[in-house]
Amino acid sequence: TAQQNAGAAPKSSRPKKPTEEPAVRAPDVDSLGFQAMDHNVPGLSHVILQKLNMKSYEDYKSAMDGKKSGSDFGIRTYFDMFQKMEDTFKGWQGARLGRLGPGPPATGHAASLPRCQNVYYCGVACQRANWPLHKKFCRKLKLVALDRLVEWLIFTGDIPFPTETWTKPTRDVKGWEDWFSMQGQLEEKLGAILAGRYMTLLWANAGKPRPEDGELRESIQRLVTDFHSRPLTIGLALRLFGIDPLAKALTVHVVGASHVETLNARLTDYDEVTRMFPGHQGVEVVMVGADVVDGPIMRPPLAAPAPWGRVYLSSYKGLYHDFWESHVETELATRPDLVVGFHPGFHACPDLLAGWLPTLLLLRDYRLPVLFTVYSEQELKASLQILVELETHVVGYAANPFASLRPEQVYSSPNKAPVYCSSYYIALLGPAAAAAPEVGELEDG
């Protein structure tokens, strides 16, 4: 049966009457299962997994297999989706209690701060007590709240807009300002997204006033940088190591890939590498990780060079050192020319480091060009310390000119400066000079 889009605020305001927008047909969840939801509400599977904190990928698989219905998640309309998504981000901060809790306070009331619409308080007293600290980050956190709603347009296909072949040599493109300057008819492309059906549906159901067009344009541009940050960081790594895509077909392994890189990934997501290196000989990007999500790119890696002039995406679900033994050493997959890890996180705790250790040693001992990215300067320092202790040769590290411009909230506390994906990079190549074995020793090993 058809259901009207509702336009109700998921926070402190009372629900409004259903918005008179085109009706959203509720999916036949009994017969089509979870996946059918994306045909009615694009991006819904992403929201359920990443935003609604499903307990495991087994839950996701059960949903994809139709063993769980949409009613299990309480989502049948656009309004339901945005309200559930917002509920996931609610943090209730009691300044007097000195805690950030996962659920509402004893009063049962959570009010968002109007300025940023991002931090939720148990009451006015808590809000006022916390303001001296929060005011330092309020403006940035407002952008966080806006971007996480506009992000939905990535899963509807509105973002990113079609891009152009680079008109400048890659060495002359110093960052996003140069990149945007090469995009023809940029204002027209942004305007088409603003006037699109899904942008209208978003603000008819988000329960918040639609921002000014200028704010939305800036949000779209930030999300475009977030989308293209990974392929352009790969291109940057090729330049740093002097690897020429025009000279031969290349293979790039993305190590430690997870749902962040693979959920709803499309076969064309890394085509910006082709815009960056027109006329390249072919590039295969293999996503390797224990948390790789099934989808279009879940296909076997190539044993032969990638097709000329194309970026070919493939994946392997499992640990990298197992992939190396089962596929690279047996020539079922080609040896990488470059290995990239986006936010590997091995600095976070001893258990994660233990899981990464076989891979880090393999990358070191096979002298593979490696580029890791991190969120912050603090992560950069912690990661460098570990890599130095592992006697890895650190070629260099710096701020990433193609870091995402989309701010992300630090969920341990709302009152911290937002972070940005791939803010810094670390380039590695083989063992440190003092620990490097003779070539013969490595080959024998």
Report residue 115's pLDDT band, with 50, 70 and 90 as the boundaries: low
274 or 47: whose pLDDT is higher? 274
- Average pLDDT, whole number, for the chain? 78
Reduced to 3 states (helix: H, G, I; strand: E, B; else coil), residue 202 is: helix
Q: Is it the case that residue 265 has pLDDT exceeding 70?
A: yes
> CA Rg, the chain, in Å?
23
pLDDT at residue 54, rounded to an integer: 52
Domain ranges of the chain: 29-149, 229-431
pLDDT at residue 39, rounded to an integer: 46
Q: What is the mean pLDDT of residues 98-122?
A: 50
Which of 253, 267, 254, 261 is CA-nearest to residue 328? 253
C-alpha to C-alpha distances, 97 to 39, 80, 103, 124, 142, nearest whole angstrom = 44, 32, 14, 14, 24
Which of 69, 61, 1, 82 is CA-nearest to residue 34? 69
Rounded to whole angstroms, the Cα distance separating 238 from 279 reads 15
Rounded to whole angstroms, the Cα distance separating 221 from 404 reads 10
- Sorted by sequence, the CB contacts under 8 Å of residue 160 that are 6+ apart come out as 154, 223, 224, 227, 228
What are the structure tokens assigned to 187, written together?
């204002």
pLDDT at residue 117, rounded to an integer: 61
Regarding the domain with residue range 229-431, which homologous superfamily does it belong to in the CATH classification?
A: Vaccinia Virus protein VP39 (3.40.50.150)
pLDDT at residue 94, rounded to an integer: 39
Within 10 angstroms of residue 348's Cβ, the number of other Cβ atoms is 13
Of 34-48, 260-274, 280-294, the poorest mean pLDDT is in: 34-48
Q: Is it the case that residue 240 has pLDDT exceeding 70?
A: yes
Give residue-wise pLDDT tens across range 367-426. Answer: 999 999 999 999 999 999 999 999 999 999 999 999 999 998 775 566 777 889 999 999
Give residue-wise pLDDT tens across range 144-161. Answer: 889 989 998 998 889 999
What are the structure tokens assigned to 215, written together?
């704010």
pLDDT at residue 91, rounded to an integer: 43
pLDDT at residue 26, rounded to an integer: 33
Give residue-wise pLDDT tens across range 159-217. Answer: 999 999 999 999 999 999 999 999 999 999 999 999 999 999 999 998 888 999 999 99
Of 320-324, 329-333, 413-417, the poorest mean pLDDT is in: 413-417
pLDDT at residue 216, rounded to an integer: 97
C-alpha to C-alpha distances, 365 to 286, 415, 427, nearest whole angstrom = 21, 42, 15
Q: Is it the case that residue 445 has pLDDT exceeding 90?
A: no
Which of 100, 103, 95, 105 is CA-nearest to residue 125? 95
183 or 76: whose pLDDT is higher? 183
396 or 131: whose pLDDT is higher? 396
Report residue 118's pLDDT band, with 50, 70 and 90 as the boundaries: low
Which of 16, 9, 47, 383 is CA-nearest to residue 208? 9
pLDDT at residue 97, rounded to an integer: 32
Reduced to 3 states (helix: H, G, I; strand: E, B; else coil), residue 311 is: strand
Rounded to whole angstroms, the Cα distance separating 422 from 121 reads 31
Q: Is it the case that residue 356 has pLDDT exceeding 80?
A: yes
Q: What is the mean pLDDT of residues 104-121?
A: 52
DSSP bridge partners of 341? 372
Rounded to whole angstroms, the Cα distance separating 347 from 167 reads 39
pLDDT at residue 15, rounded to an integer: 32
Of 55-69, 124-138, 298-312, the poorest mean pLDDT is in: 55-69
pLDDT at residue 103, rounded to an integer: 43
pLDDT at residue 22, rounded to an integer: 36
Spell out the alpha helix ranges (H) of 182-293.
186-194, 197-205, 213-240, 259-262, 272-276
pLDDT at residue 415, rounded to an integer: 72
Q: Is it the case that residue 238 has pLDDT exceeding 80?
A: yes
Strands 99-101 and 92-94, bridge-based pairing: antiparallel
Whether the ω angle into residue 160 lies within 30 degrees of 0, i.e. cis, is: yes
DSSP 349: -
Q: In what order do the strands lie in the sheet with 111-112?
A: 99-101, 92-94, 120-121, 111-112
Rounded to whole angstroms, the Cα distance separating 374 from 388 reads 16
> Which residue has tokens 């992560």?
379
Q: Is it the case that residue 21 has pLDDT exceeding 80?
A: no
Q: What is the mean pLDDT of residues 330-343?
A: 97
